[in-house]
Each structure stands twice: as C-alpha cells, then as structure tokens.
Structure 1
Amino acid sequence: MSAMDSSFDEPDYDYAASIAGRAMRSMAEQRIAPTPANFAVWFLYFGDGHEDLRNAIDLLIDHNRPFDARTNQDLFKTYVAPQVSAAVVDTSERLQALMGAAKEFLATAIADNHSQMQGISEVADQGKAGVDPKALVAQLMNELARAATRATRLEAGFAEKTRELDVIRDSLSRSEERARTDTLTGLANRRALDEFLRKAQATAAWGEPLSVLMLDIDHFKTFNDNFGHGVGDQVLRLMAKVLREKVREQDLPARYGGEELIAVLPDADLATCAEIAERIRHALAECTITRRSTGEVLPSISVSIGVAQYRAGEAITDLIERCDRALYLAKGSGRNRVVTETELDRVGTAG
C-alpha cells in the first residue's frame, strides 16, 4: 500500500484529530504554509508507519534546515504523491482491452479447430462411403486451405497485439523511471535513493565498504537572489551533470533536497570516496556558466562536500547524518573544500 493509500484509511476520529492538531502546530513552528499538500506530509509524519518520511523530516529539523517551498514540494512528491497517474490508468485500460482481444482470438482459434476437425471428419466419412477419391482430395485440399487462411489471420492478429504489448511495456518502464527521477536534475530522487541505500546497506553488512558524499553549492541563496531562480536551476542541472560524469558506473548520484546532491558509492572506502569528491569539486570550479537569455558569463561556482563511510551495524540515517555534518564543517571552515568524517573526530577531540 502506498503512502497516499494509507492516508485515506478511516482512523478513529479522536486519533485523527490529535494527529491533525500536532501536524498544524509543527507546520506553524516551522513556518510552513498550511496547504493541502504540506498538511498531507505532516499528517503522515505524525501518523503510524512512514519511517522514511519521518527520518527525512527529523534530519532536516536536527540541522535547522528551512522548509522552503522547494523542500516541501520534494517531500510531497517523494513520500506522499500518489503514484497512479492518468498514464497508468490509460495503461490499465489498454491492458484490459488487449486481454479481451486475446480471449476472442483464442475462442476463435478453438472454434476454427473444431470446424476444421469436423470438415476433415466429413471427408473421411465420405471416403468410407466410396466417394470418388478425386473429389475427396479436392475437399481435403479445400479444408486445409481454409485452415491455413484462418491460421494466417490469427497469427497476424496476435502479432499486432504483441506489438501493442511491447508499447505498453515500454510505457510502463518509462513511467517507472519517471517516478524514480528528479524532474529538475534528471538524477535519482529520494525514493530511488532510499531503495538503493537499503540494498547497499545489505551488501555492506557482509563487509563490503560503502561510502557517501554530499555536496552543496556555496552561497547559493545569494546566487539565486542576484541572478534569479531560473539561473539557479541551470546551476543545479550543471552540478547534476558533473556529479553523474565523475562518479563510477555502479554509484548512484541523486538529489537529496533543495540544492543538496548526494552520491552513494558501494564498494568504496573513505579515501576512494574523498578522491572522487575532490574530482567533482575541482571540475565544478572550472565550469563556466553562461546566462542563456543574454549570453552573460556568470561568476564561477564552488561547492562544499562532506564524505562519510558506513560503519557495520549502524542505521543508514546515522551515515547520512555524519556525512551531513562533514558537509557543514566544510562550509564552516571556508567552503570550496572536501571534508571527511575523520575531521569531525578531530574537531570533537579538540573541543
């Protein structure tokens, strides 16, 4: 059952009212607009289940992240939005029509077989009755020709429906891919990220290393304020392109939220992950950004990157939280740099 399905269960009135009250109070504390979509997110947050949503919001709160419009939209799209779209409904209807057609084809084939068997039986009976062999051969040839025609017609019909099924299969594959992809950056979204992390954690439990890196644009708010959100989106797409190109084939680059991107690196220790992070940072620093509308060359961008490695037995949220802390240490210590979790330990010891 999807998150949206469970939100329409019929809970006890008092329980539902209590959850709704807690949701509205928390939205007010976080200065979140009380829209239906935002309310759905926070109602599920305080309801039973939905651990992934709760972990995501808790992490944002723990790090004093603002719940801006983009973050709220990401939460809704990832954890609440119903996955059944008009395309899926259309696909279901087309499948029903194809199954009906297949049943008709099969029924026709069965009827034709019966007709063919009956015709051949009649020819055989005439042979026993002493009918002219030439006439029998002619009748038999006629029955076989009719059978061949029916078979060709059925084969053509099945071939056409097979092609339709291929189209539907491709459509479903594209729909599934869209449901797992962030629309702005083209990277994996939070739903795909969570699934990948669960699988990677299972592999890491057998001793394989697993690392993550998280990157954030330095002074992105100032960049947006000066040049507009359209240019900001262009920068995010550039970040995503560089991230996708610099990680390995087996890695998963994803949009974590807002301007933060993340990459999960199975079978990579901390040093390997830090090396890849440094390549990403360097490549972005060398990028030239041109404003599409005017051709104006904009100031270069830089990113801060945090890196952490999975520790046996820990929750994935602990790994992400440690990586996030490393990212903020990178920002707090001058920006435009890569910081690994080992520096967190040094900071903690020095403190």
Structure 2
Amino acid sequence: MAANSTRQAMDSGFDDPDHDYAASIAGRAMRSMAEQRIPPTPANFAVWFRYFAGSQDDLRNAVDLLIDHNRPFDAGTNRNLFETYVAPQVSAVALNTSERLHTLMGAAKGFLATAIADNQSQIQAISEVTDQGNAGVDPKVLVGQLMNELARAATRATRLEAGFAEKTRELDVIRDSLSKSEERARTDMLTGLANRRALDEFLRQAQTTADWGEPLSVLLLDIDHFKSFNDNFGHSVGDQVLRLMARVLREKVRQQDLPARYGGEELIAVLPDADLAICAEIAEVIRRAIAECTITRRSTGEMLPSISVSIGVAQYRTGEAITDLIERCDRALYLAKGGGRNRVVTESELDRAAAAG
C-alpha cells in the first residue's frame, strides 16, 4: 500500500512531501510515453506528467483527441504540446509578477522623486516670500503669494496621494496573485485537498498544541480494491472516484480539521482537539457516506459498481514522533483491510488482534 512506501521513503531520507503521489503519476507518464514511442525528454515528460496529474483539462482533451484519432506523437506534435500547454503555465506567473513589480517600483521611485522635488520647491518659494517680507513688501501681497503656494502644494500632494493609492491597489492585486500561487503550491492537483507539504506543516503545529495536553487524532483512508477498479474502468474514471472520495472527506470532517492527499489512493485527515472516540465516529460517518455514493461514468452515463473504503484511526501520544502516530494509524488500516474491508478500525484493536494472533 502507498502508506508503507511513503514511510519507507521518509526513513530513507527523501524530503519531497509529495514523493509517493509524484512517483505514481511519473510511473504512469513514463509507461504511456513508452507505449506511444515518445522520447523521454524533460519537455515530453512534463507534458505527460501534467496529463496524468489531471491539472489541465485543455491538455488532457488535446492528448485524448490525438490518441482517439491514432495520431502519431512525432517530434513536431510533442513540441507543440509542450509549447502550447506547459511552457506558458511554467513561466507566465513568474514573468508577469516580476514585470509588474518592476513597473510599480519604478513608479514609486518617480513619485518619491517628485515629492522631494516639490518639497524643495515649496521651501524655496516660502523662503523667497520670507525674504520679501524682510524687504518691506506689502503684507497683503505676501499673504496672497503664500496662499497661492500652499494651494499649489495641496494640488501636488493630492496628485501624489492618488498615484500612490493606485499603485497600492496594484500591489494588493499582486499580493493576492502570489497568495493564490502559494495556495496552489500547498494543494494536491487532482483532489483539491491539502498536499503533503501542507499536511506536514499542519501536523507540526498540531503536535505542538497536543504536547500541552490537547487531544490530537488522525484517520487514514484507503479505497478498497482501487487497483482493480482502475484496471477495469481506466485511470480517468479512477481519478473521478478519487475526487469524489476527497469531496466526501472534506464535507464530513470539521472546520478545524485538515483533510489531505497522503499518497496514491490514500487520503488522511488530521483532527486537532479530537480524541480516539470522536475521530472514530467521524471516520464511520465518512465510511457510510462513501458506501452510499453512486458513481456514474461521465462519458457514457453508465452506473459503476459502488466503492467502499477502509479507515484506520489513531490518537497522538504526548512526546512521540508523528511518524509513530501515522504508523499506528496505518497498522489499524491494514487490520481493517484484513478484516474484510469497508470498516473502521482504531488503534485500540491492534493489541487485541496481536493477542488473538
């Protein structure tokens, strides 16, 4: 199962938080490239990795159309796919953000230079009026000059303020764009759930709170017989099922919980301030909701066999490593699989199972 390979990868020193998921997608990409006799260049691999990740509908549709019409993936076709669907996605955000920031910094520099020049001009004008006063010029004339100079200063200040306000709004847009990019970097492309990077960060924060005595529990969910489902109906339908499971998980956990993609067909949820019993109750709600789902093949409307999940549940023990918590959860999941699947098993049943064995 994916959980075991994930744990082994962590023990072996891999740092990539999405290693298992990426490895699964990469394997599918390489196999399809070999079947289509496509050279395994970085550009070609990027195309097919994105295709199987399901992150770009336009790319998927283009490749599916080529396959349906038995079109060869020659050098020209491969290059067009990369230049049309991959290269713009890779560079557009970074290039656009850099250019906009450069423009804004230039504008801000110009505004500041103008403000400094206007300030110097105003000081000079007031100094000249002061000199005229010392020379005995009519006070009424001096007052009029001062009023005119202050009016011009106010007008310049208003223009500068409007300019700064406009650039501030542009900076807000850039900040929002960067925030969305960061969010995408923390989100699993296929399911829309948190990815391993976001999961690891959340677990570290939750562990800190739990070490002060607050309960913390985790549930690990695996789709039963998912490999045979993929083999019978295809990976695109399998992806559809995985998205459905992710949606149910997201809807059934609490607002403060974090549902995430753990690897392959495994999903996970971290439940702060929830003991083993509460987590098991939520896991059972999730299991029943998934068992009641009806799945329809989008392309044909065909009703597909029902899907079930097995779920393992474990609670954090103060001071332990998070890997130990996940390992107990994983063993409980294996026990659920071995006990017939479509069930929830908590870590409290591990000792009883060991004693009975």
TM-score of the pair, normalised by structure 1: 0.76
Change (3 A) 1:239 1:71: farther
1:232 aligns to what?
238
State the Cα distance separating 1:214 from its structure 2 match.
0.6
1:191 aligns to what?
197
Equivalent residues in 2 for 1:14-53, closer than 5 Å: 52-53=15-16
Task: Report % sequence identity.
Answer: 81
CA-to-partner distance for each residue in 1:184-240, whole Å, 9 max, x for gaps?
A: 111000000011111111111112111100111111111112221111111111111
CA-to-partner distance for each residue in 1:41-69, whole Å, 9 max, x for gaps?
A: x9x996xxx5645x997xx8xxxx9x644
1:5 aligns to what?
none
Task: Say whether 1:204 aligns with 2:203.
Answer: no
Q: Distance in 1 between matches of 2:302 and 2:28?
A: 32
1:301 aligns to what?
307
What is the count of residue pairs matched by the alignment? 292
Q: Distance in 1 between matches of 2:315 and 2:346?
A: 9
The residue matched to 1:233 in structure 2 has which SS?
helix
Q: Distance in 2 between matches of 1:45 and 1:270?
A: 26
CA contact (8 A) 2:18 2:263 kept: no
CA-to-partner distance for each residue in 1:136-165, whole Å, 9 max, x for gaps?
A: 333223212221221111111101110111
Q: Distance in 2 between matches of 1:71 and 1:252?
A: 28
1:39 aligns to what?
none
Q: Distance in 2 between matches of 1:201 and 1:253?
A: 16
CA contact (8 A) 1:71 1:258 kept: no
> Aligned letter for 1:327?
L
Change (3 A) 1:135 1:56: closer
The residue matched to 1:282 in structure 2 has which SS?
helix
1:17 aligns to what?
none
1:219 to 216, 222, 225: 225
State the Cα distance separating 1:245 from its structure 2 match.
0.8
1:269 aligns to what?
275
Change (3 A) 1:210 1:291: same
State the Cα distance separating 1:346 from its structure 2 match.
1.0
Task: Say whether 1:167 aligns with 2:173.
Answer: yes
Q: Distance in 1 between matches of 2:136 and 2:260?
A: 81
Task: Say whether 1:333 aligns with 2:339.
Answer: yes
State the Cα distance separating 1:86 from its structure 2 match.
5.2
State the Cα distance separating 1:279 from its structure 2 match.
0.0
State the Cα distance separating 1:92 from its structure 2 match.
4.1
2:86 aligns to what?
none
Change (3 A) 1:186 1:69: closer
State the Cα distance separating 1:305 from its structure 2 match.
0.5
Q: Distance in 1 between matches of 2:95 and 2:197?
A: 22
Unpaired runs of at least 5, structure 2:
30-48, 51-89
Name which structure has the greater RCO, CA cutoff 8 Å, separation 6+.
2
TM-score of the pair, normalised by structure 2: 0.75
Note the aligned Cα RMSD (angstroms).
2.8
